[in-house]
Structure 1
Amino acid sequence: MSATNAAPKASPLLFLRSLLYYAGFYPVTMVFSLICLIIGPLLPFRTRFKFLTLINYFYIAWLRICCGVKVRVTGRENLPAEGSYVVIANHQSEWETLYFQLLIRPQAVVLKRELLRIPLFGWALALLKPIALDRSKRRGALKQLLEQGKARLADGIPLLIFPQGTRLPVGKLGKLNKGGAMLAVSSEVPIVPVAHNAGLYWPGKSFIKYPGTVEVAVGPAIATQGRTVDEVHSESTAWLEAAMKQQGSLD
């Protein structure tokens, strides 16, 4: 399936398989979130991250079993083995929030504040030190991103940013903001672009999941010392755009 091809027809079988997925997803999430809220605050951050994201292994395995959605990663070796760094990735599917916590461990993610208000799930998510932005206050959001982002990076925690700002349908790139490049340059840490085509198999806000293999490509770490924000932003987003086209998720 590619960005230029029409999505397959949502057959009754695909509906039933997706229904089965959510029949397992929601009860397990509620129970595990309760456990996390009790145990999580007692653990140091790195141990807490490992514990709270154990459920993500279930999510990805259950998705493969119920809906036939698999994953293939290339370039995993490009993720720095030590130290902090900034990851920028395209934003097109709820799948990202499930899998990326397994790919980048530990991490702090930049997300919208509303997610932390979801009962149980959002409360547990808040224990992972996300940077929760109020998107209605753009200037204040950038200041918060830079201040809290630098603090996470100084603590040796990689930071995940979606420069598109919101989920976009397959085939669309939108405007890529410079927040990730600004953080990486100011903190003198590498920036790593990551592209995926999960929207082909789990379209944003879609109940139906389509069988297939999500391709994830991790680009080379881009050095930032002695470089400008514009240079780093241009190089990292150019790689991201080219990889998305190769994966078939960008026109």
Structure 2
Amino acid sequence: MSKKANPLHYLRAVFYYLGFYPLTIVHATLSLIISPLLNFQQRFKFVTLINYFYIFWLKLCCGVGVKITGRENLPTDGAYVVVANHQSEWETLFLQTLVRPQCTVLKKELLKIPFFGWALGLLNPIAIDRSQRRGALKQLLTEGKSRLEDDIPVIIFPQGTRVPVGKVGKFNKGGAMLALSAGVPVIPMIHDAGLYWPGKSFAKIPGTVQVHVGEPIPVEGRTVDEIHEDMVAWLEEHMKALEIA
């Protein structure tokens, strides 16, 4: 069930953003200067250092923490495809601290955001033009397979856009297609961040975001539909368990 913000939550969010924006500008500027001297692994570590601050500062200013269940299900070596629900900006910040390194599939408009988007572009994301659906799928499979062959996990939000708490949306098959094409497992992941950081909301509501990581879904000898059905079944089951669907 969605939670309502009160005036104190807005005030606490003001303090959060008073730290968020200035540090983002400084760190992004440093990242742009230093990144040409680093390889991808080093660049990812440096650019995403600020994400740890974001999560810490969110807890300190707004009282939003996180609890992870199933972290042991994340492979310790080799590449894989993570499929997760998308409810807010929170998961785009947090997942870069949980899966390291990684390549995120995102809409290309994000890369145009001053400083934040410029730094994000240094991480070699797969920036999709959502108006070109056929071309977007080809890009996902081509660039995604290339990243996976370099042992870099790929993060996909199969709902395609933020879906508010209480709704499920439609899960596309891109994650299953990419995993099968590259011969790597799918790691399903669910969270309830939308309860505490609703999409496009200024106010943050105190509480603990629950993150559940599922066991790897194998792809060997299976079809895209079989992989996708297992993925969707797990996601929907755990969304209902967290009471966000």
Q: Using structure 1 for the length normalisation, give the TM-score.
A: 0.96
Tell me if 1:72 matches 2:31. Answer: no
Tell me if 1:241 matches 2:227. Answer: no
Tell me if 1:148 matches 2:140. Answer: no
For 2:132 and 2:28, how far apart are their aligned partners in 1? 30
Q: 2:3 matched to which residue of 1? A: 7
Amino acid corresponding to residue 7 of structure 1 in structure 2: K
Q: 2:22 matched to which residue of 1? A: 27
Amino acid corresponding to residue 230 of structure 2 in structure 1: E
Q: 1:174 matched to which residue of 2? A: 169
Report the CA distance between 1:7 and its aligned residue.
Answer: 2.1
Report the CA distance between 1:11 and its aligned residue.
Answer: 2.0
Number of aligned positions between the proteins: 245
For 1:88 and 1:41, how far apart are their aligned partners in 2? 30
Amino acid corresponding to residue 79 of structure 2 in structure 1: S
Show CA shifts across 1:151-203 (max 9, x none). 00011100000000000100111110000000001111000000000000000
For 2:70 and 2:7, how far apart are their aligned partners in 1? 37
For 1:226 and 1:11, how far apart are their aligned partners in 2? 52
For 1:171 and 1:14, how far apart are their aligned partners in 2? 22
Report the CA distance between 1:234 and its aligned residue.
Answer: 0.4
For 2:198 and 2:88, how far apart are their aligned partners in 1? 6
Amino acid corresponding to residue 137 of structure 2 in structure 1: L
Flag as ranges the 4+ runs of structure 1 deviating above 3 A.
none
Report the CA distance between 1:211 and its aligned residue.
Answer: 0.2
For 1:157 and 1:246, how far apart are their aligned partners in 2? 30
For 1:248 and 1:84, how far apart are their aligned partners in 2? 31
CA contact (8 A) 1:90 1:163 kept: yes
The unaligned stretches of length 5 or more in structure 2 are none
Structure 2 residue matching 1:46: 3-state secondary structure: helix
Q: 1:94 matched to which residue of 2? A: 89
Amino acid corresponding to residue 233 of structure 2 in structure 1: A
Amino acid corresponding to residue 3 of structure 2 in structure 1: A
CA contact (8 A) 1:152 1:159 kept: yes
For 2:186 and 2:234, how far apart are their aligned partners in 1? 12
Q: Using structure 2 for the length normalisation, give the TM-score.
A: 0.99
Structure 2 residue matching 1:193: 3-state secondary structure: strand
For 1:89 and 1:11, how far apart are their aligned partners in 2? 29
Amino acid corresponding to residue 28 of structure 1 in structure 2: L
- Across the aligned residues of Structure 1 and Structure 2, the Cα RMSD in angstroms comes to 0.7
Structure 1 residue matching 2:122: 3-state secondary structure: helix
Residue 47 of structure 2: which of 43, 52, 55 is its match? 52
For 1:54 and 1:136, how far apart are their aligned partners in 2? 32
For 2:32 and 2:91, how far apart are their aligned partners in 1? 23
Residue 197 of structure 1: which of 172, 183, 192 is its match? 192
Residue 185 of structure 1: which of 157, 180, 183 is its match? 180
CA contact (8 A) 1:178 1:233 kept: yes
